[in-house]
Amino acid sequence: MRKQIVAGNWKMNNDLSQTESLIYELKKIEKTSTAEVMVAPTFTNLYKAFESLKDTDIEVIAQNMHFAVNGAYTGEISASMLKSVGIQTVILGHSERREYFNETDEMLAKKVDAALANSMRVIFCFGEVLEDRKSGNHENVVGSQIKNALFHLDADAFKHIVLAYEPVWAIGTGETASPEQAQDMHAFIRKTLADKYGNEVADSVSILYGGSVKPNNAQEIFSKPDVDGGLIGGAALNATDFFAIVNAF
Ligand code: 13P
């Protein structure tokens, strides 16, 4: 049975006191679903968030990391640094990292390797831009993002990888992929995995959808057979909305 996961990506939002308030609100709400829940605060608040949530079933995860072990990489954070403050899971390949910080498939392959070498779990993000969707090239784009960054791995590595399909045109725009568009792409992703690694691996990997998931559309999206959860941006900044999405399972 694949894991169902709802992860909140807080992006570059919330200073320390706002982080504490949001965590306080999150802890008050009852979780009625079986989904795993994660939140990704910004780096400076990871330790505080981890300490505040370590006795709950909300996992604190990171939004990014560097691939090097350590050294002269001003401003960067390594896997072992994340682990030293309790973080076991990292989001890699978010389209905002790709677009604004020039992260390439090649760089992401190294980041994935570094995370796995440190026994971390990876939420690996990818997705097409609007032009690719309009020109019908979306499957090619997504297929190559996955192949270029992940297909050097052995099948066992996929025990530690969660995929997150986030069509760029649906992020922060209020425009969601329709449940059918999400299902079609998730089925394509699973087939891409099956062609390389076989059905057992493909059927075991959780594939999350991200892009304008809200309390009013979560249930329909999550009801699709190949959608195993969501990566939530804007709606994750409000505890009530976030848990309405979590509890949509
Ligand atoms: P929104 O939910 O704000 O569209 O963001 C999605 C996202 O980028 C999560 O990583």
Whether 166 is in the pocket of ligand 1, judged by its Cβ within 6 Å, is: yes
User: How much is the pLDDT for 64?
Assistant: 98
CA gap 45, 12 in Å, rounded: 11
Whether 9 is in the pocket of ligand 1, judged by its Cβ within 6 Å, is: yes
User: How much is the pLDDT for 137?
Assistant: 97
Report whether pLDDT(1) > 80. Answer: no
Q: Quick one: average pLDDT of 137-151? A: 98
Q: Quick one: average pLDDT of 169-188? A: 92
Cα 157 off chain centre by: 17
Whether 167 is in the pocket of ligand 1, judged by its Cβ within 6 Å, is: no
Q: Which atom of ligand 1 is nearest to the CA of 234?
A: 3
Strands 36-40 and 58-60: parallel
The answer to whether the CB of 150 falls within 8 A of the CB of 124 is yes
Judge whether 36 counts as a catalytic residue. Answer: no
- pLDDT tens for 103-133 read 999 999 999 999 999 999 999 999 999 999 9
Q: Which atom of ligand 1 is nearest to the CA of 211?
A: 4
Identify the band that residue 249 occupies on the pLDDT scale cut at 50, 70 and 90: confident
- Among 13, 175, 212, the mutation site with the greatest number of ligand 1 atoms within 8 A of its Cβ is 212
User: How much is the pLDDT for 176?
Assistant: 84
Q: Quick one: average pLDDT of 204-216? A: 97
Q: What is the dihedral of CA 54, 58, 63, 67, to 10 degrees?
A: 60
Compute, in angstroms, the gap from residue 72 CA to the centroid of ligand 1: 32
- Among 39, 166, 217, the mutation site with the greatest number of ligand 1 atoms within 8 A of its Cβ is 166
Give buried/exposed letters for 151-170 (b at 16+ CB in 10 A, else e).
eebeeebbebbbbbbbbbbb
Judge whether 175 counts as a catalytic residue. Answer: no
Q: Quick one: average pLDDT of 68-93? A: 98
| Residue 229 falls in which region: left (phi positive, over 0), alpha (psi -120 to 50) or beta | left
Q: Which atom of ligand 1 is nearest to the CA of 95?
A: 8
Look up residue 211 and give its DSSP letter. S
The protein residue with its alpha carbon nearest to ligand 1, atom 2, reads 233
